[in-house]
Structure formats: structure tokens, C-alpha cells
Amino acid sequence: MIKLLLIGAGGFIGSVLRYLVSGLAQTLSQTMAFPYGTLAVNVLGCLGIGFLSHLFAARSFIGADLQAFLVVGILGGFTTFSAFGNETMNLLREGEAALALMNVGAQLLLGLGSVWLGYTVAHVVWR
């Protein structure tokens, strides 16, 4: 139960940080033509999960609850793209290049396809 509360608290923190960082990056870019805010959040999230993954592997004293709070909670609330990046890198490190490529392709195609499908269904239903 404690782990779930830690993940929830971290998710709250990560979501608020995503809103603030994304808004700041978008404002600093002085354009709305490209989603710089989302790009900034995804890049920072990937940097953070890469750093933490190495830290957790190198420092066994970091407990599972703290790892869940930081990775699943804060970074999960900040961006799930970081999890996608980390899982793809893990596959590459394990010598599973084909699975890594399949993961990238599936995430992009199915993710974008699902956005299109959701938009299309909503458009048809609520004309």
C-alpha cells in the first residue's frame, strides 16, 4: 500500500512538473508551430530515466519504494516516453535489436494510429 501511495504522490509531482516545464519551453521557443514543450519534456524524461537506471544498477542500496516513487511516479507522471526509451535501450543492451526495432515501430504506428482512430470515432459520433 505504501508503494502505491508513493507512486501516486510521485505521479502528482511529475504531472505538475510536465505542465510547468512544457509551458516554459513552449513560451521560450516563441512559436506554437512546433511542440517544443512536449519535446523538452520527453528529452528531459529520457535523460532522467537513463541516469536513474544506471544509478539503480550501480547502487544496490536504493530501495524498491524509492525507485517506484522516482521512476513510475515522478517520471511516469512527467512522461511515459521515458519508459519507452528505457525499455527500447534495455532490449538493445540485451542484444535484442529486432525486438527493439519492433517496439519502436509498434509504439509509433499503433500510437499514432490510435490517436487517428480516436479522433475519427469522436468525429463520427459527435458531428
What pTM was estimated for this model as a whole? 0.79
Q: Is residue 121 part of a domain?
A: no
Asked whether residue 68 is assigned to any structural domain, the reply reads: yes
- Give the Cα separation of 71 and 2 in Å (integer): 15
Q: In this predicted model, what pLDDT tens digit does every residue of 61-94 receive, in sequence order?
A: 789 999 999 999 999 999 989 889 999 999 999 9
Grid coordinates representing 5? 501511495
**What pLDDT score was predicted for residue 21?**
96
Residue 28 lies in a domain: yes
Query: Look-up: residue for cell 528505457?
Result: 86
Q: Are the C-beta atoms of residues 83 and 22 closer than 8 Å to each other? A: no
Identify the domain containing residue 53 by its residue range.
Answer: 2-79
Could you tell me if residue 61 is inside a domain? yes
Using only C-alpha atoms, the chain has a radius of gyration, in whole angstroms, of: 17
In a domain, 41, yes or no: yes
Residue 46 near residue 81 (C-beta atoms within 8 A): yes
pLDDT digits (tens, 9 = 90+) for 20-60: 999 999 999 998 888 899 999 999 999 999 899 888 888 77
Place of cell 519535446: 39
Mean pLDDT estimate for the chain: 92
Could you give the number of structural domains in the chain?
1
Q: Answer yes or no: is 116 within a domain.
A: no
Report if residue 6 sits inside a domain: yes
